[in-house]
Amino acid sequence: MIPRTAGAFPVTVDVVALTVRDGALHVLLVERLLDPFRGARALPGGFVLPGESLEQAATRELAEETGVTAPASAATGEATRSGRATAVGQPEWHLEQLRTYGPQDRDPRGPVLSVAYLLLAPAFGLPEAGGDAAAAGWFPVPARDLAFDHDRILADGVERARAKLEYSPLATAFCHEEFTVAELRHVYEAVWGTHLDARNFHRKATGTPGFLEPTGHVTTDGPGRPAELYRLVPGVSPTAAVLHPPILRPAERSA
Amino acid sequence: MIPRTAGAFPVTVDVVALTVRDGALHVLLVERLLDPFRGARALPGGFVLPGESLEQAATRELAEETGVTAPASAATGEATRSGRATAVGQPEWHLEQLRTYGPQDRDPRGPVLSVAYLLLAPAFGLPEAGGDAAAAGWFPVPARDLAFDHDRILADGVERARAKLEYSPLATAFCHEEFTVAELRHVYEAVWGTHLDARNFHRKATGTPGFLEPTGHVTTDGPGRPAELYRLVPGVSPTAAVLHPPILRPAERSA
DNA sequence: AGTGGATATCGTCATTCTGACGACAACGAA
DNA sequence: TTCGTTGTCGTCAGAATGACGATATCCACT
């Protein structure tokens, strides 16, 4: 019933996993153990297996190559096959499809379709290297000279994240469930590479309806006055919901 | 070199072609001539052939199923194989990838990957039905009971278009090269389903830097005072560029 | 020619939002 | 107690917004 002239293509998933560490945006990269591009750094990813969904393949490859396993709430369908322990302090993440890169001229082995995913997570430590997790690590963005067309995929992922911070609550995906306004501001500053006025940001973030909700808790450690803890308003999707008015990147005001 | 466990999937492209006709948003649909879903309406689309890029497949399927051919400037790579004449008065369009729909549970024939594209164009007449162009036509959005998961793909495409109008010059993709401020406003009103104040919209549209550029021409037909003609500032991509501040949907102000 | 309808464009004004920045609050360290 | 640090609230001028009046310039009709 499917026409014989139709092509059948190998399909890979590649994951652009971003986090904010030490005030800067980082991406999760692995060192390739096999040709092509052996020894080069690349986005974690691999071939979709028969019967899998794209999201299942993305989480499976992430687990196999980096040891990072999905939190229970984000796991879709079957349990991951990796028996590795969950990464330290990694309670939740946000996974969304980025875009698909055409079958031609991107893999020396022939036509391969790649569906890229964007994963945003709070900073967490990686499991000890070894086993499947060969030389996985966080690298500052921008990273260069990645395998395949991963330079472009990474750039697309970073640009998606930058744009979405403006008009969605996606920045909270980089924070743990409870966070301070300053932590949220550091996310914006790291992703955009700009400086934001702490007082105006506080007013804007706490004043935007449908964004932040105080938990009643306060921080206890660190210097200075303790900060109130907030969470994303329950029921609000980090992707779909829209911030009105948006939080605009300051640099673009002069464009 | 590609692992034997990797699956190979048939890949289709589906095109959500939107335009504004008679003040309302319309989508280009075809009637399926073959099973599955024979007789049902569906988005134009079909299988990617070996050697094709995704965009090539999208424009080819569009030409085969609806007779609509790409303008010269938008044609990517090889010429379309359809010898059909170009659609009446259809000078340019905007084509961008929407998203990819996973291989499972969306085609009764088995796992099929579908890469959806979003096409925005000024209103234009369709070629006479016949040949490949079987019962292609414009239908008001929302359309219901489409084949496969095309209801969802259409909804995703419409939502993408609605969101992008706010912070990008994408609305100009629904207009011809030269257009009036009122025509541009009608696009926003049709896509968003809202009413916009003509005077405030004029001030906002003409006052936003990097958006509109007067051509010096004026309209000559129709009742009322002739309107000045504008074009999108040359060099500005309808997708990538960002409007600051954005043009926000009025209904959401109360959210 | 004159009038009226229709559409385009400009102007006004109160309200809200934004960016810059001062002031104070609440902690730990010296 | 004093000081440095960080968080939170206020103030104020300028910009942006929404509502809407006023004027410009066409066509159709008398």
Summarize pLDDT for B114-153 with one digit per residue, the tens: 999 999 999 988 776 555 556 789 999 999 999 999 999 9
* pLDDT for position A133: 53
Pairing type for strands B8-21 and B113-120 reads parallel
Model pLDDT, residue A80:
31
How is residue A215 written in tokens? 């938990």
The predicted pLDDT at position A82 comes to 29
Confidence of residue B75 (pLDDT cuts 50, 70, 90): very low
Which is nearest to B193 in space by CA: B154, B123, B249?
B249
In this predicted structure, which of A187-201, A235-249, B154-168 has the lowest mean pLDDT?
Answer: A235-249
Share of chain A above pLDDT 70, in %: 86
Residue of A nearest to B51 (CA): A104
pLDDT tier at A71, thresholds 50, 70, 90: low
> How far, CA to CA in Å, does A233 sit from each of A20, A222, B12, B29?
22, 26, 39, 39
Whether nucleic acid strand D comes within 7 Å of the CB of B255, the answer is no
Q: Which residues of A touch B36 (CB under 8 A)?
A: 1
Asked if residues A66 and A30 have their Cβ atoms less than 8 Å apart, the reply is yes
Residue A78 has pLDDT above 50, yes or no: no
Residue of B32, B47, B233 to mutate, testing the A interface (most A Cβ within 10 Å of its Cβ): B47
Q: Which residues of A43-68 are buried (b: 16+ CB within 10 A; e: fewer)?
A: bbbbbbeeebbbbbbbbbbbbbbbbb
Token code pair at residue A141: 């963005």
Q: In what order do the strands lie in the sheet with B212-218?
A: B179-180, B228-232, B212-218
- E strand or H helix that includes residue B118: strand B113-120
B52, closest residue in chain A (CA to CA): A104
User: Could you tell me the maximum CA-CA distance found in chain A, to the nearest angstrom?
Assistant: 69
Is the pLDDT confidence value at B64 over 70? Answer: yes
DSSP annotation of B150 reads H
CB contact under 8 A, B7 and A6: no
3-class DSSP state for residue B191? helix
Does the distance separating the beta carbons of A109 and B113 come in below 8 Å? no
**Which stretch of A9-13, B126-130, B138-142, B193-197 has the lowest confidence by average pLDDT?**
B126-130
Total Cβ atoms within 10 A of residue B77: 10
pLDDT tens per residue across span A216-233:
999 998 899 999 999 999
Question: Rounded to an integer, what distance in angstroms lies between the CA atom of residue A172 and that of residue A231?
Answer: 8
A101-122 tens-digit pLDDT: 989 999 999 999 999 999 999 9
Does the C-beta of A252 come within 7 A of strand C? no
**pLDDT band, residue B83 (cuts 50/70/90):** very low
pLDDT over 50 (residue B82): no
B211 close to B165: Cβ distance less than 8 angstroms: no
Are residues A51 and B167, on separate chains, in Cβ contact within 8 Å?
Answer: no
